[in-house]
Amino acid sequence: MEKIRIGIIGGAGYTAGELLRILVNHPRVEIGFVQSTSHSGQPVTHVHNDLVGETGLIFTGEPRYEEAELLFLCQGHGKSRLFLERTPLPAGTRLIDLSADYRIAGEGHRFVYGLPELQRETVRGASQVANPGCFATGIQLGLLPLAAAGLLEGDIHVQAITGSTGAGQQPTETTHFSYREGNLSAYKIFEHQHQAEILQSLLQLQPQFSSGFHFIPIRGNHTRGIFVSMVTRFSGAGEDARELYEEYYREHPFTVVTDINPSLKQVVNTNKALVYTEKHGNQLVIITVSDNLLKGASGQAVQNMNLMAGFEETCGLQLKPSAF
């Protein structure tokens, strides 16, 4: 069976850990190296201790590019651009960037925006893919069917709650246990960095959209998972919305339209997103749930890798949720 050899740049963070959890058991992947400057020479399991017994990989300080056909860039925002500006890569090396550096088109790069539910065929032929943000993924999955049908008719109001892992592994005042536990707080109201990529995708599908987009992000008191609730005007019946969403996602294996109001535990630890709609008067309520580290980051990156490599899209991603 044909396999692809991969390397990970920036292997000590949450997204790299989730990638490794998937890829050590992926039937069509060989891991060439996992790079970490701060942990060079240490076993990967010293950082990602959930992998004890799963792998004997050792962090390398210097990337071994000859051992990888595809690189996952798992460094912080801003670092991928610096890395690629300073690093000559072997010809033909494919890239999947999990930072925000290349998500916006038209900035002098060749990266394809890697939301398969938006442009799966473009991802298949890409050599460089910018993985979407976690909030952006959950919000877009709730809006793409309306935009594709030209049915975004008015302002969009969004509130989304994320787990603490969405802020990365480095501790901060607002990710500290004493702050998060039993607590909720809003931040970056109407100014979150993921708004640009969300609007980019909506305008790609519905160029005439000009209404307001109002997003309030919420820090949750849980570790992982994003719960998105949205309201926007919709002139059709509730059944029309449901049929529209089911048709749009019919061929997309990881986005499931449900008629049961979903909860976060249905998707945590999976690459699955659930989408639910409910009509009230002239307003459509849309709810999506997804795991910020999987469908919102590393799981989607593997999904993109599968597409780029010509593998089955779901390969290695049959993950079990934590229902209780």
Domain ranges of the chain: 4-131+297-309, 134-290
Q: DSSP string of 217-253? A: EEE-SSSS-EEEEEEEE--S-HHHHHHHHHHHTTT-T
CA distance 267 to 210: 32
Are the beta carbons of 242 and 257 closer than 8 angstroms?
yes
Supply the pLDDT for residue 291: 97
pLDDT value at residue 106: 82
What CATH fold (topology level) applies to the domain 134-290?
Dihydrodipicolinate Reductase; domain 2 (3.30.360)
Question: Residue 230 and residue 158: Cα distance in Å, rounded?
Answer: 4
Q: What is the pLDDT of residue 169?
A: 60
Neighbours of 53 (CB within 10 A): 7
Residue by residue, pLDDT tens for the chain (324 residues) are 789 999 999 999 999 999 999 999 999 999 999 999 999 999 999 999 999 999 999 999 999 998 999 999 999 888 999 999 998 899 999 999 999 999 999 878 999 999 999 999 999 999 999 999 999 999 999 999 999 999 999 999 999 999 887 655 666 666 666 677 888 999 989 998 899 999 999 999 999 999 999 999 999 998 899 999 999 999 999 999 999 999 999 999 999 999 999 999 999 999 999 999 999 999 999 999 999 999 999 999 999 999 999 999 999 999 988 877
Q: Which of 151, 104, 102, 109 has its CA nearest to residue 286?
A: 151
Q: Which residues are catalytic?
A: 134
pLDDT of 175 reads: 65
- Say how far apart CA 226 and CA 219 lie, in whole Å: 10
Domain 4-131+297-309 architecture: 3-Layer(aba) Sandwich (3.40)
For residue 55, give every residue at least 6 positions away whose Cβ sits within 8 Å of its Cβ, in sequence order, or none: 20, 24, 31, 44, 45
